[in-house]
Chains A and B, each alone.
Chain A
């Protein structure tokens, strides 16, 4: 279990994360959503100890996570938003470096490397240096590297950014598989449908503060499960309804300039983030 208590990060006068409190249960698939600059990556960076908090703390299974906490860090693996790898290493070397950093025996490193690169369809490129890989290949390699150590907690910061639609779906399946093995996953993503498809619960954050926290279904229900998009002089306006009949009645009255659909998590995100941005 991960407990985030009063987590705050300031960069000079700017507060990127503001007294964030979260509890992420073991085996949970947890999403962290928010607009650009909301503090998602900063939160993940603190969870991976690359950044240290200005205030508050993170506990993993009841123990404080800091840079000295080797036992806690052993449970963690992270896929960062950027390609955080030595550009001049080959895929094999990247994987071996990871295995060595986690004290894996050399034989196991070789076996796991072969298995994961095969799974990701990267075997034929294993002698190629990172610098000469495409963006999608680098992303897949980062995932192989993260899974190499069979972590208990996987932190994913925009893991499918830059991937094509097919690769993204493959990634979703992979993440579902590993989550099924009781691996706790914390995901930040710009693809809201990704969070809706994968996450047990999502936290919506904006300007470093927690706005909403619940399951995607509960958040959608709260807003209204039925949506009508209407084209008006002011652009596209969406109305939300808790009852299907209410939505149909509105649609009928609105005429041909309106359409009916199910509410998505993206609607919740836009309502929440858009309103806050509008206020600013």
Chain B
């Protein structure tokens, strides 16, 4: 029930800011597709680079969509609007509030990824996006929603949200299997980068797009992040002394 309340709140927000959310979800990925995929025409492993790029951009869009939907919103609600107080004092179980935020954030990520898929439809690539791809996009969104929740509970000021994006989301966007394969990175660094959630989400979505089965290891990494950051978020909302 509490989950539905949070999803309703997210829906109100989405309905009101539909155009802003949609345009924001499109701009950066579209630029990357145009510049790297179409402007600088090149190939990767004998295939047009666009075939490599599109699955990575889709994974990246789910990450940024989910993260920004939660990080900015929760930081403002907690520190500026104080609207979180309304939830804290209510009888809605706080774990349901967290779960609602995670699902809501993930749906926003899924929407952002879906917009990119729609935009790339006219490009005939023969890439495959199926139900499993959608599930991985959703799972990737849940991971970044929980990371965003954790960081928004740690934020000291609502202006911290853009800093989190600069410190976490931007480096991951460029390093984690979006624009080039992590296989090309130096040993050591490669292993670290490949353990990051976006690297695994990109690899799995790209694998499916090319007709391959995703590796179980990718799911393990994503579920591990989800479990750790989900648990931290729940502990914070129940135990943090000064919310």
Contact = CB atoms under 8 A, between A and B. Distances in A.
Nearest to B243: A50
A71 B92 CA distance: 10
Interface string B86-99: 11111111100000
Interface residues of A, number: 34
Given A11-B242, A50-B243, A76 B82 contact: no
B94 A86 contact: no
A122 interface: no
Contact of A88 (B2, B16, B241): B16
Nearest to B1: A103
Nearest to A101: B90
A68 interface: yes
B5 A101 contact: yes
B212 interface: no
A115 interface: no
Interface in A50-107: 50-52, 54, 67-68, 70-71, 73-74, 76-78, 80, 82-89, 93, 96-98, 100-103
B217 interface: no
A51 B243 contact: yes
Contacts of B93: 68, 70
B22 interface: no
B83 to A, nearest CB: 5
B238 interface: yes
B188 to A, nearest CB: 40
B215 interface: no
B86 A85 contact: yes
Contact of A50 (B5, B77, B88): B88
B89 A48 contact: yes
| Interface of A: prevailing SS | loop
Contact of B5 (A71, A77, A93, A100): A100
A84 B13 contact: no
A102 B90 contact: yes
A67 B13 contact: no
Interface in A121-163: 145
B183 interface: no
A167 B154 CA distance: 39
Given A87-B81, A88-B16, A101 B94 contact: no
A49 interface: yes
B12 interface: yes
B82 A84 contact: yes
A112 to B, nearest CB: 15
B89 A97 contact: no
Contact of B85 (A67, A74, A80): A80
B237 interface: yes
Contacts of A98: 86, 90
A74 B93 CA distance: 11
A-B pairs, 7 with minimum CB distance: A84-B82, A101-B90, A100-B5, A70-B91, A74-B91, A48-B89, A84-B85
Given A76-B89, A88-B13, 13 more contacts: A48-B85, A48-B89, A50-B84, A52-B239, A54-B241, A70-B92, A70-B93, A80-B82, A80-B85, A86-B9, A87-B81, A101-B91, A101-B92
Interface of B: 1-2, 4-5, 8-9, 12-13, 16, 77, 81-94, 237-243
